[in-house]
Structure 1
Amino acid sequence: MTQPPTDRTTPPDVIELRDATKTYPGGVDALRGVDLRVAQGELAAIVGPSGSGKSTLLHLLGTLDRATSGEVRVAGYDVSRLSDAQLSALRARHIGFVFQHFHLAPGRSAQDNVADGLLYGGTTLRERRARALAALEDVGLGHRVGHLAHQLSGGEKQRVAIARALVGEPDLLLADEPTGALDTASGELVMDLIRGLHAAGTTVCVITHDNEIAESLPRRIRFRDGAIVADSGAAPGPAGSPAAHTEEVSR
């Protein structure tokens, strides 16, 4: 499998955008000159109403789409310089995704759904299943490994999705409205898991329109009309390492 280039000399920010834009056919400017840095170990909310640009940003950060102009670096790699095969390798090795509606494969067990997160990592089936079991135990679902997706509650499905995202030990976890399809109690449990992952050293970006969730996180990056309109500033990583601070801004 083709791997991303390995010409890095110093540990970079996990995310770095410089004057990034995204324009869709018809002249729709989804992102307008976004500058953003997220340091290793941060827990940040990317918050804004529908149509603000946060979903477009998610696609750029997850290397699921490319910027129209500007620079996007994820885990130190300039996304614009990578082939499709290298982008796939980058996602497999460095990025975990959690979506609102879980995206679990029906008819497959929780363990197999998590193991599928390692399909592109070059590991054997036996290793994938062993690591999936460990990941499910980490999210409190060791007793549900053999249950099929339709036999799980909404909160359990989201915990399976989190385990799948983390089984490859990514540098960056992107959580897109992770509590949007859950009841209050299940949502609080999922957010507790996300905070625990951050405390263990994972860099996490939570994309949300929920201001209550955003206000509960250390950093809040607010989007409106395709631009950052406020940024509460970077917080230190869980190990206490300082990160660059950005003052609150308005545009």
Structure 2
Amino acid sequence: MTPAPVIELRDVTKSYPGGVHALRGVNLTVEEGELLAVVGPSGSGKSTMLNVIGTLDRSTTGTVRVAGYDVSELSDSRLSALRARHIGFVFQHFHLAAGRDAVDNVADGLLYAGVPLKERRARAREALAKVRLDHRSSHTPNELSGGEKQRVAIARALVGAPRLLLADEPTGALDTASGAIVMELVHELHASGTTICVITHDNEIADSLPRRVRFRDGEIVSDSRSGTCPASSRTEGAGS
């Protein structure tokens, strides 16, 4: 049996009071194991789409399915469970707890999964090793560089073994060298089987990924894969 897509959006809109239309009829399918960039300028709708995909916000109309679940049919508590089990988040500004070391910051990613503290910390150490930070596990955020903080944040997102990693401008607060290390990790994690969606305004980052979904004014204007013609000339992916 073919597994359900990790992400499936059909005719999705998101509107706010005052006539603001952040998403306009978006259609998007992301299969298991894909690595894609959602790219566009500020205000194009890409971050709104991340919030909708991540079930942090509900669409106004249309169908949103994540890991096979129609999110419109789930209560807030079941949405929280869906996020805890299936989705990992990485944000531009890390959101690490200042007084807690790297192990406990990563272990916090399992707080809502009902995992005992000892196991949370053991799994946190494994996740830190994956991002090559096991030697910094006892350090607090003020003792880490920006790039190291982002790698801790990635480990926290991965500690629950999510099917989907959503990374919102993961290199936006980093220098070029640290950003390159983070993107190297993204490629390694994808090679290990994680489905990853990177939200970015950086065309260089987008062009380094195998699939690029370009947003403008709340619509998908192109959807292309390396070695293929843009999907904007096909039906899939085009927002209308």
Normalising by structure 2, we get a TM-score of 0.95
Question: Once the two structures are superposed, what CA deviation does each residue of 1:206-240 show, in whole Å capped at 9, x if it has no partner?
Answer: 000000000010000000000000000499xxxxx
Asked whether the equivalents of residues 39 and 234 of structure 1 are also in contact (C-alpha less than 8 Å), the reply is no
Is 1:52 aligned to 2:44, yes or no? yes
Question: Quick one: structure 1 residues 70 and 234, their matched pair in 2 at CA, closer, same or farther if it must change by over 3 Å?
Answer: farther
State the alpha-carbon separation in 2 of the partners of residues 199 and 161 from structure 1.
19
The structure 2 residue matched to 1:247, chosen from 222, 228, 231, is 231
State the alpha-carbon separation in 2 of the partners of residues 163 and 18 from structure 1.
31
Secondary structure of 1:248's match?
helix
Asked whether the equivalents of residues 233 and 248 of structure 1 are also in contact (C-alpha less than 8 Å), the reply is no
Matches within 5 A, 1:52-71: 52-71=44-63
Question: Once the two structures are superposed, what CA deviation does each residue of 1:71-116 show, in whole Å capped at 9, x if it has no partner?
Answer: 0001110011100000000000000000000000110000000000
Secondary structure of 1:119's match?
helix
The structure 2 residue matched to 1:165, chosen from 157, 161, 166, is 157
Asked whether the equivalents of residues 110 and 160 of structure 2 are also in contact (C-alpha less than 8 Å), the reply is yes
Partner of 1:98: 90
Asked whether the equivalents of residues 222 and 230 of structure 2 are also in contact (C-alpha less than 8 Å), the reply is no
State the AA in 1 paired with 2:166.
Answer: L
Matches within 5 A, 1:1-251: 11-233=3-225, 247-249=231-233
State the AA in 2 paired with 1:231.
Answer: D
State the alpha-carbon separation in 1 of the partners of residues 158 and 23 from structure 2.
28
Asked whether the equivalents of residues 72 and 78 of structure 1 are also in contact (C-alpha less than 8 Å), the reply is yes
Secondary structure of 2:113's match?
coil
Unaligned runs of at least 5 residues, structure 2: none
Partner of 1:238: none
Runs of 4+ that moved beyond 2 A: 245-251
Question: Once the two structures are superposed, what CA deviation does each residue of 1:39-66 show, in whole Å capped at 9, x if it has no partner?
Answer: 0000000000000000100100110000
State the alpha-carbon separation in 1 of the partners of residues 98 and 53 from structure 2.
27
Aligned length, in residue pairs = 234
Identity of aligned residues (%): 72
Partner of 1:242: none
State the alpha-carbon separation in 1 of the partners of residues 166 and 3 from structure 2.
20
State the alpha-carbon separation in 1 of the partners of residues 149 and 61 from structure 2.
37
Question: Once the two structures are superposed, what CA deviation does each residue of 1:170-216 show, in whole Å capped at 9, x if it has no partner?
Answer: 00000000000000000000000000000000000000000000001
